[in-house]
Amino acid sequence: MSESTPYRVLARKYRPQRFSELIGQDAMVQTLGNAIRRGRLAHAFLLTGVRGVGKTSTARLIAKALNCIGPDGQGGPTIDPCGVCEPCVAIAEGRHIDVIEMDAASHTGVDDMREIIEASRLAAFSARYKIYIIDEVHMLSKNAFNALLKTLEEPPAHVKFLLATTELAKVPVTVLSRCQRFDLRRIPADLLAEHFAHVVAAEGVAAEAEALALIARAAEGSARDGLSILDQAIAHGAMDGGAAEGVTAPAVREMLGLSDRGAVRRLFALLLEGDAVAALARLREQYDLGVEPAALFRGLLEVVHGVTRAKSGGADDPAQSVEEREALADWASRMGHATLHRLWQLLLKGLEEVQSSPLVIEAAEMALLRLIHAADMPDPGELLRRLAAGQPVAPAAAPATPVAPTPAETPSYPVDFRALHDLLEACGQHRLALLLHDKTELVRYAPPVLSLRSTALPADLAKTLREATGLAWEVRFDEGGEAVPSLLRQEEALKSEDRARVLAEPVVAAALEEFPDAELSEVRSG
């Protein structure tokens, strides 16, 4: 390339010029080809998909396919435009007068639509069809959409509308119903890596297969994003050693802030082994190399996902190395689904904390430690199995401080405390029942004699009891005798015993040890 020739970025230089050059959109190309061959062309097409999958490029290819006249000037619409006739060349260069491209993000108003509607009534100047390509059509205002509806439904025979959008949900259903819709899929990573290999070969740049696989993963299904990253990687590789340095995997990892997948697997193994010291050292090592903790957690999530897919019999990822597949298969044979799901949830929570914490590396360390400790816990199914077999369910630990009273500590009362329940039932809804329940400590119950210890009861209790129950009672207040606690205190003691018994259950104790912020809010009897 001469110094006077401006540099064209790879995303523009390698924009598809034929339908055969579209990556990963075979179904759409086949449907469109059948429509062209049979003369069943819609008057409006809607192209949807994530950024960079080729929506605008596809729209231009459709424009070429509809207006191509062939090298001899006698051709008709074709799925394989020649690329050499005047319409094909002019459309490819973006200068055809009958192919009008509009960015809806900057032309959102109803007046812009009125201009299109008025112009669409005029015949094409030189092409077979006058074509309007409206990109990011979801950005149009409500009034602009309404103005376009009638023309979309019944356009002049010489007009075709090609609409493109990344946010299909924002396009009114009235517009969707008037268009033939094509969903452009995310491009698989293996196809992207293969495409990038062709690009670097055409550019005369050496590139490692692993480096191209990393770029393909980072592109997340977008050819344009991937080519932009590849452009940057080529420049990055040339910084230290010229163009001959090429694109290497370590350089791409450094550029993107990615962790070595092997390092991630080694860290994952340390987490499963419960080696906290080594795991934290590995984390710090990656951090010092410039790897963001969030990227490391995403790598760990990918490992868990890969192990789960391997365990479920999912297809192999073509971007994975042989060593990685073997490691995932080995873990899959030794880990249960419940453990994998728990690891996934813990890593997700850790990623959220790392992304939101002002202390990034500290949050990452705490999240890894939590994961290591949780790895010692058996899954719920294993816990039930151990309980049924009478086996211990929690890791060995120092004896905990007893939280429940021992049987020897349970008080033994000198009287039948159930007797006061009978008296309360006899009182019914009388206000005295509440006082007897909450405030009365019973010393002796031998009807009609009632010996109590309480200062909250009325002095004329015998009279009040006779009114409430119809029986004559002799009430004595004995402050020196041994008394049974009030019914209220007894009920509270029973609740405390139930709570202590639940807290002492091995499953609950193990759960609270793992999640120290958790609390037992309520104990319900079965």
Residue 445 lies in a domain: yes
- Please indicate, yes or no, whether residues 265 and 231 belong to a single structural domain of this protein: no
Percent pLDDT > 70 in the chain is: 80
Sign of CA dihedral 91, 96, 98, 102: positive
- Please indicate, yes or no, whether residues 252 and 198 belong to a single structural domain of this protein: yes
Q: What six digits make up the tokens of 354?
A: 């790392």
Query: How many separate domains does the chain show?
Result: 4
- pTM reported for the whole predicted model: 0.58
Q: Pick the more confident residue, 136 or 254.
A: 136
CB < 8 Å & 24+ apart, contacts of 432-439: 432/461, 432/464, 432/465, 432/468, 433/468, 436/487, 437/486, 437/487, 437/488, 438/486, 438/487, 438/488, 439/486, 439/488
- Please indicate, yes or no, whether residues 273 and 286 belong to a single structural domain of this protein: yes
- Please indicate, yes or no, whether residues 43 and 89 belong to a single structural domain of this protein: yes
Residue 418 lies in a domain: yes
Residue 384 has a pLDDT of: 54
Residue 405 lies in a domain: no
Residue 396 lies in a domain: no
Domain, as residue range, for 88: 10-183
SS (H, E, C) 385-454: HHHHHCCCCCCCCCCCCCCCCCHHHCCCCCCCCHHHHHHHHHHCCCCHHHHHHHHCEEEEEECCEEEEEC
pLDDT single digits (tens) 44-99: 999 998 888 888 889 999 999 999 999 988 888 888 999 899 999 999 888 999 99
- Please indicate, yes or no, whether residues 202 and 219 belong to a single structural domain of this protein: yes
| Average pLDDT score, the chain | 80
**Helix axis angle, 209-219 relative to 189-203, nearest 10°?**
120
CATH number of the domain to which 238 belongs:
1.10.8.60
Q: What is the distance between the alpha carbons of residues 25 and 184, in angstroms, rounded to a whole number?
A: 6
Looking at this protein, which amino acid is placed at residue 419?
A
Indicate the residue among 380, 405, 433 that finishes a domain.
380
Q: Which residues lie across from 475 on neighbouring strands? A: 450
CATH number of the domain to which 308 belongs:
1.20.272.10
- Please indicate, yes or no, whether residues 174 and 266 belong to a single structural domain of this protein: no
Q: How confident is the model at residue 504 (pLDDT cuts 50, 70, 90)?
A: confident
Residue 227 lies in a domain: yes
Q: How confident is the model at residue 241 (pLDDT cuts 50, 70, 90)?
A: very low
Q: Which residues lie across from 130 on neighbouring strands? A: 159
Cα-to-chain-centroid distance, residue 501: 39
Residue 496 lies in a domain: no
pLDDT single digits (tens) 86-130: 999 999 888 999 999 988 888 888 888 888 888 888 888 888 999
pLDDT single digits (tens) 265-312: 889 999 888 888 999 999 998 888 778 899 899 989 989 998 998 888
CB-count burial class (<10 Å; 0-12, 13-18, 19+) for 99: buried
Q: Which residues lie across from 162 on neighbouring strands? A: 45, 133
Q: Which residues lie across from 102 on neighbouring strands? A: 134
- Please indicate, yes or no, whether residues 27 and 106 belong to a single structural domain of this protein: yes
Q: What is the distance between the alpha carbons of residues 310 and 247, in angstroms, rounded to a whole number?
A: 31
Residue 525 lies in a domain: no
- Please indicate, yes or no, whether residues 178 and 194 belong to a single structural domain of this protein: no
Indicate the residue among 256, 274, 300 that finishes a domain.
256
- Please indicate, yes or no, whether residues 420 and 436 belong to a single structural domain of this protein: yes
Q: Is the predicted pLDDT of residue 342 greater than 80, yes or no?
A: yes
Residue 400 has a pLDDT of: 37
- Please indicate, yes or no, whether residues 276 and 350 belong to a single structural domain of this protein: yes
Query: What is the 8-class DSSP label of residue 84?
Result: -
Residue 73 lies in a domain: yes
Residue 363 has a pLDDT of: 92
Q: What are phi and psi of 47, to 5 degrees?
A: -105, 125
Mean pLDDT of 23-35: 86
- Please indicate, yes or no, whether residues 156 and 82 belong to a single structural domain of this protein: yes
Indicate the residue among 133, 161, 183 that finishes a domain.
183
Q: What is the distance between the alpha carbons of residues 308 and 148, in angstroms, rounded to a whole number?
A: 49
Angstrom distances, CA of residue 72 to CA of 82, 90, 97, 369: 10, 16, 21, 72
Q: How confident is the model at residue 479 (pLDDT cuts 50, 70, 90)?
A: low
Element housing 383 (H / E): helix 380-389
- Please indicate, yes or no, whether residues 73 and 174 belong to a single structural domain of this protein: yes
- Could you tell me if 510 and 376 are in contact, meaning their C-beta atoms sit under 8 angstroms apart? no
Q: Is 45 helix (H, G, I), strand (E, B) or coil?
A: strand
Q: Pick the more confident residue, 441 or 202.
A: 202
